[in-house]
Chains A and B, each alone.
Chain A
Amino acid sequence: MTAFLGLSAFHRDAAVDDERRRRVAVQEERFSGKPGDASFPRRSVRWCLDEAGLRAGDLDGVVVSQKPLRTFERLLASHLEEFPRSARGFARAMFLWLGDRLWMRSRVAQELEVEAKRVLFCEHARAHAASAAFAAGLDDAAVLVLDDVGEWTTTAQCRVRAGAVEVLAEMRFPDSLGLVASAITQYLGFVPGQDEEVLGALGAHGAPRMLEHLRELVVPLDRGAFRVDRRAFPFRRGGDLAYGDALVEALGPARASGQPLLASGDDTRHADVAASAHALLAERAVDAARALRERVADVPDLALTGFLAQDARIVARVAEQSGFERVHAAPYADDAGAALGAALVGAQGAAFVGPLLGPRAEDDLGEHEGAKELDGADEVPRRIAERLERGELVGWARGRLALGRGALGGRIALASASEEGARARLLDALQLGESWRECFVLAPAERADEWFDVPPAARPAAARGGAVVRPRDSIARALNAASPAPVRRNPSRAARHQGISRLTPDPSSKSYDPIAK
């Protein structure tokens, strides 16, 4: 029997793949409740092994989704190049690496009590590419990795064939769209590496007025490549700030955490910065995808993954403009997917891997007061529709927990979108105080016209997912926003929604409940 455990670098998530195709994966934060928990994933490893019926000693290998010596080389080289401005970052990075990360093989071996020779290492981009292609069930596909940074690689054009990943070309640190996204997130007063979704969500409330300035700081090169301005984005220094003076000169003063967010009324500067940054990232992502299309002209499928592929609007732009026939976004495009990809690279397996790989809802049903198990295809939509019609908010847990930060399957919170301010109420209940955070409208595709303004030219793309549409008034009131939003198609979700919509009144009666998530 062959069985591989994947770990995302550094110590965050775990996944198991074995020859019986028992694939399970979970993020450590699901157990600890701490977002982005970076401690050694003892609990996720324990759960994955239990679920797969394995002991650590049964594993053929534990594959870490990064080559640590290459990452260390990158850090050293970057600090040398930035001398003498990298003094502070050097001391901090070397302390962390010399004290811990450089000894990953022995740390993993010790924690899991496996032989050191069974601890293996896979390039970060390769792990991402494997998880993306296999998630889409593709045996032959182009894969574009739009990441922050792995070892050296920030962006990679890959081809996956018959279970093997070939990296065709790569862009290297510090030219990174993911790090640009992090830097502008930090410029806006949010936490880099955690709050990047702010760019898409907040940007929907603004206009890309600063796009020209940003284009000068992330300059396009030949064949869809780009160069990041080192003064605006001093990533190589490794200091506290990921943005530099040139960005402040171009966009104006940065927002400190806790200062008012300018996103409505007369002054929408912060929303405009987010919109501009988002437009720039989408532009460069489309350029890179088009270049990949030229390189592999005979391949109709593109799988997108990496840090930026978590952004549905960027995926939508790539789907519309890259020239590929079909574009697939990995449901676990973040580092959780890299853990799964590492296990798949170890097992050299090419088979469909869905996103629902975590603990089952029914396993912890008794742990939530008021939770009820519903049974039967009819009862579930009926009970949910009844509650929504009464104006209640509904939490719906179904099947296994999905892997990945942006994954929408398995656990959803629902509110009726016929109510004004439904989004605000839902976010309040979820203790997400930021009013700009996004909710998604679930609607059956064939009736999308009732709630959305879908331009005729965008209809084919809307039908398969990947168009951008504008909500009509009734939905806009519920969402408290009329900004265009991307369409993502999910047949299983649509089917569930249809199940609910059959039980609700006709939309013309104005009491029909489309569902906002």
Chain B
Amino acid sequence: MKLTGIFLIILSGVLLIFKIYYSHVKRISFLKRLISDSEILKNEILFMKTPVYDAVANLKSNGACDKFYEEILNSLNGNFSVKDSFSKGFKAVSDILGEKSESVFTDFGNLLGATDSDGQKCAFSSFICGLEKALEEAETEKKEKLKPRCAAISFIFTAIILFVI
């Protein structure tokens, strides 16, 4: 009975640590994907002059950020502006990205498609810069917060196991 209890406590501790670790990894890989997709989007828009909807639809097949792009495309189809569509797209993935980076997306949505090529160039520079900053923050957070959290969880669960024994 005791052994089963200890096993379950260890398992739940491992799962909790994995969940915290996975949320960080997911956020970082999402941001990396988004940065590389933004470069593709930028080229499509600046050099091929592809309309926003088609350019985003081309990205959708890349897979990693599908939920985000799908929400944007649905909103654009439903008569929403680019700004509102990006805002909705962000909300669909805010659990991954966290609320802090919302302004990066709404600001970009406000500028995307609304100006000529020179304006779009500036909008992309600012968006990619914002994403890189968010990525840097996510990596720092992973380094700085993940270890103490894991240590705290391990300590609590070890204490529980010792108490059980």
A binds B: no
Which A residues are within 8 Å of any B CB, using their own CB?
none
**Residue ranges of B at the interface with A (Cβ–Cβ < 8 Å):** none
